Chains A and B, each alone.
Chain A
Amino acid sequence: MSDNQISFVRKHMLPEAPPPVAATGVVKWLRENLFSSPANSLLTVVSLYVVIQIVFSAAPWFLNGIWDSPSLSACREILDGKVGGCFAVLSERWNQLLFGFKYPSELYWRPGLAFILLFVAGAPLLFYQIFPRKMLIFTGLYPFIAYWLIWGGSILVPVFALLGVLLGAFVYKRTVGASAGMAVIAGFVAALIFWILSGFVSGPMENVLAIEPVNSRDMGGFMINLMLGVVCVSLSVPFGIVLALGRQSSMPIIKWICVVFIEFIRGVPLITLLFVANVVLAYFLPPGTTFDLILRVIIMITMFASAYIAEVIRGGLAALPRGQYEAADSLGLDYAQAMQLIILPQALKISIPGIVNVAVGLFKDTTLVSVISMFDIVGMIRGPILASAEWNGVYWELFGFAALLFFITCYGISQYSQWLERQLQTDHR
């Protein structure tokens, strides 16, 4: 027997054959994702047709867009019958869209600077892993700096406001050992007394380090939306926490005050609360008080948002297992310590998506102030810009621009919150 008897034995592996065309690459992806069944193929073709229709009808509008023209009629002349957007209204009225039509134009740098500083102040909060903790000091100072930049006037007002807050915090720290609730009230009362007293000092000394004051009536545009959104969200989180804890409280009177407040606010539309701010609130203040409209609106929107945030946080508190509360008790922590060190960190972590939802909703709802004749971005578009002789009839460009601004902001916020959720995930999956 020799090796020759066996006709053929392969000594080496064959090279791997490439997979069939239909099972690889683009073709496979197309088959699996777009044409997996007749019904699916039909759906694909129909949606493709819709997308192509939309793109082809919108493309010339963007491509032929006019960016430089004094008015709509001039714009149409340049276009000469072609389809095209008249984006000149955006470049022409850019400042009005952002700052409103009465903010003094030589002072635009002030809200602009405040806007840039907002990112510096927000960075250590939002990306606390990257930025040093010391920057939080600036975050704490930011509200007062921003107030001074936007409203102007004497620097004493924000400085006294800051000192009042510091005094309140100091009193809280000193008394929190005795009773958390008492400490909150004591801190608040201390700050209030300080503010009232400081009014006697800052009133006569109006011109100390003063920059040109700007009236709130002169503010408008997207600035108002941003201001209301940032202020009301940051104020409503602490109020929301207090309300949520109050609703969970074992003290019946506290609990019922919180329940009634939350359910009442959540049961009515924001517009009715804005009506209250606009026409009713004045009846409940001492005669002769002139209360800034923006401040009234901020109070109402903050109340509105804190009720919603309270419900979100209550959900987070309820989701914690009882063992966490019991563990805190067994360590001998008092109520304030237990909440601060054990309960709230976990409850707030669970509540992040909900809080962000409320924040996004609230930011969108700031456009409602245009209904009570404040000139935010929607109010500017509907009022001074569309009513002007030059730009009467430019709808799509303006509303599209406003929609785009909101989309970018809100989508950005929701993407950030998803990222944060992944960062905070401590369970093993």
Chain B
Amino acid sequence: MTTVTDPPKASFQLSQLIYDTRYRSYTFQFIALMLLIALMAYLGANLVRNLAEQGQNIAFGFLYEPSGYDINQRPIEYDSQSTHLRASIVGVLNTLIVAFLGCITATIFGVTAGILRLSPNWLVRKLMAFYVEAFRNVPVLIWILIIFTIMTAVLPAPSAFRGDDPDSSMLFDAFAFTNRGVYTPAPIWGPGSVVVVLTFLASVFGVFYYRRYATKLLYDTGKLLPMGWPSLVILFVPTILIYFILGQPIGLEYPELKGFNFGGGIHIRGSLIALWFALAIYTGAFIAENVRAGIQAVSKGQTEAAASLGMRPRRIMNLVILPQALRVIIPPLISQYLNLTKNSSLAIAVGYMDVTGTLGGITLNQTGRAIECVLMLMLFYLTISLAISAVMNVYNNAIKLKER
């Protein structure tokens, strides 16, 4: 048997750095590293020279200067005297708000459409296919602009609600759809409302506990407790009882026409709605495809095996298909959430003041600190992305099929 041994070190020649595969990778990496450093140095030198020429520097002090501009949607206290930093934080919060709302709505749209695409009903199947194809194949920016147009150019002005015989009227006397946004009733938290909220939270835990107890009872004794209606009872009855016993502490403040505009209630701006719904419908179309693919990925044998055990269709879905399908659905679902969050930066096209609109828009233009602003903007999105992918890796490892 012949064995290959390393040639003695003494015979090392310079040409081995190129022709010997054992050393070549070092040469290659060295060259790559040098090229990278040279590129960085070149760009850095240019940056320094350009900044010196224009009398600028890289500094983040501008963040503590007053911003001098207004933001129309303020989750936290903010006025034009606040700092740029605070403006950025308002922007970040606005981004998170629209991303949160969008993700929830997109999931609802997507799961519904995905399941309906597998429906035995031909018409529904075709309609859902039309929805998915129409929204997946048209840029989200165009959808945002279309919905924004509906919100601002098609809906009536608040003045149309005025007078004895107005052109428009409020839906249920509670919702007003105007070209300045949508007005909905706002809750008024009276004394004792804390108790109601706490009761509701306790009921949610109660439902979980009940379901765990029922499952345990089923496994231990084989006795099957009903799950559906007791859950609903536990969830709602105590809260409603407490609500009336305490004398209805939570009221509603309805929007009213005051002067030229509506007052009271919650004002949801057209830009938020346009962004929210366009992102939700667009991402929903992608989620629908993921859901459909996930359910179809579970082989038909699983359904048949479950049926031959005597399970009912509903239970087959809940106990056999869905747990396996979710393994396939969830990772792309999360990456769709990530896409939605990144796409929410399109807010700048409709004037919704998210972080791209404040930090990357007005702050950048006012201070001229392009490098700092874009850098911070990128870091923000990068942090969110990396955090979500870290969570996803943990999840993927947890649900990975344990084979062999």
**Interface residues of A, Cβ cutoff 8 Å to B:** 32-34, 36, 40, 43-44, 47-48, 50-51, 178-179, 181-182, 185, 250-254, 257, 263-264, 266-272, 275-276, 279-280, 282-287, 360, 364-365, 367-368, 370-371, 378, 382, 393, 395-396, 399, 402-403, 406-407, 410-411, 414
Contacts and interface: CB of A to CB of B under 8 A. Distances in A.
B374 A279 contact: yes
A424 B31 CA distance: 39
B124 interface: yes
A266 B370 contact: no
B121 A284 contact: no
A272 B374 contact: yes
30 contacts: A34-B121, A34-B122, A40-B119, A43-B123, A47-B123, A47-B124, A47-B127, A51-B123, A182-B28, A251-B25, A253-B29, A254-B28, A267-B382, A267-B386, A271-B360, A276-B374, A280-B370, A283-B50, A286-B49, A367-B139, A368-B346, A371-B346, A396-B149, A399-B142, A403-B138, A406-B137, A406-B138, A407-B137, A410-B138, A411-B137
Contact of B382 (A48, A50, A268, A371): A268
A253 B33 contact: yes
B299 to A, nearest CB: 15
Interface centre among A178, A251, A269, by most chain B C-beta atoms within 10 angstroms, is A269
Nearest to B26: A251
B145 A399 contact: yes
B216 to A, nearest CB: 33
Contacts of A263: 386
A356 to B, nearest CB: 12
B142 A269 contact: no
Nearest to A30: B122
Contact of A382 (B122, B145, B377): B145
A151 to B, nearest CB: 26
A40 B146 contact: no
Contacts of A282: 50
Contacts of B122: 33-34
Contacts of B35: 185
A266 B140 CA distance: 18
Contact of B137 (A252, A254, A399, A414): A414
Most buried by B among A43, A267, A411: A267
A88 B31 CA distance: 61
B70 to A, nearest CB: 22
B53 interface: yes
Interface in B45-59: 46-47, 49-51, 53
Interface of B: 18-19, 24-25, 28-29, 31-33, 35-36, 43, 46-47, 49-51, 53, 119-124, 127, 133-134, 136-142, 145-146, 149, 153, 342-343, 345-346, 348-349, 356, 360, 364, 370-371, 374, 377-378, 381-382, 385-386
The 7 A-B residue pairs whose C-beta atoms are closest, nearest first, are A267-B385, A33-B122, A410-B137, A269-B342, A364-B139, A279-B370, A267-B382
Contacts of A280: 370-371, 374
A395 B153 CA distance: 9
A180 B137 CA distance: 39
B382 A264 contact: yes
A33 B122 CA distance: 5
Contacts of B356: 269, 271-272
A43 B381 CA distance: 42
B120 A271 contact: no
A254 B32 contact: yes
Contacts of B49: 286-287
A184 to B, nearest CB: 10
Contact of B138 (A267, A287, A364): A364
Contacts of A393: 153
Contacts of A268: 342, 377-378, 381-382, 385
Contacts of A182: 18, 28
Given A47-B121, A276-B374, A399-B145, 12 more contacts: A33-B123, A34-B122, A43-B124, A251-B28, A254-B28, A271-B345, A272-B345, A279-B370, A284-B47, A368-B141, A407-B134, A410-B136
Contacts of B124: 43-44, 47
B275 to A, nearest CB: 13
Nearest to B49: A287
A114 to B, nearest CB: 23
Nearest to B146: A399
Contacts of A368: 141, 346
A410 B135 CA distance: 11
A382 B153 CA distance: 14
Contacts of B18: 178-179, 182
Given A179-B28, A276-B374, A403-B142, A395 B149 contact: yes
Contacts of A179: 18, 24, 28
Contacts of B343: 269
B123 A44 contact: yes
A270 B139 CA distance: 13
B270 to A, nearest CB: 14
A263 B121 CA distance: 43
A365 B35 CA distance: 32
Given A268-B342, A367-B139, A411-B133, A185 B121 contact: no
B138 A407 contact: yes
Contact of A254 (B19, B29, B43, B374): B29
A272 B377 contact: yes
A257 B28 CA distance: 13
B131 to A, nearest CB: 11
B145 A378 contact: yes
Contacts of A257: 32, 36
A283 B370 contact: yes
B120 to A, nearest CB: 6
A365 B346 CA distance: 11
Contact of A287 (B31, B53, B142, B377): B53
A34 B47 CA distance: 67
A33 B121 contact: yes
Nearest to B25: A251
Given A51-B127, A178-B18, A179-B24, A378 B142 contact: yes
A219 B235 CA distance: 61
A263 B377 CA distance: 16
Contacts of A279: 364, 370, 374
Contact of B50 (A43, A185, A287, A367): A287
A406 B121 contact: no
Contacts of A47: 121, 123-124, 127
Contacts of B127: 47, 50-51
B145 A283 contact: no
Given A254-B29, A268-B378, A268-B382, A360 B121 contact: no
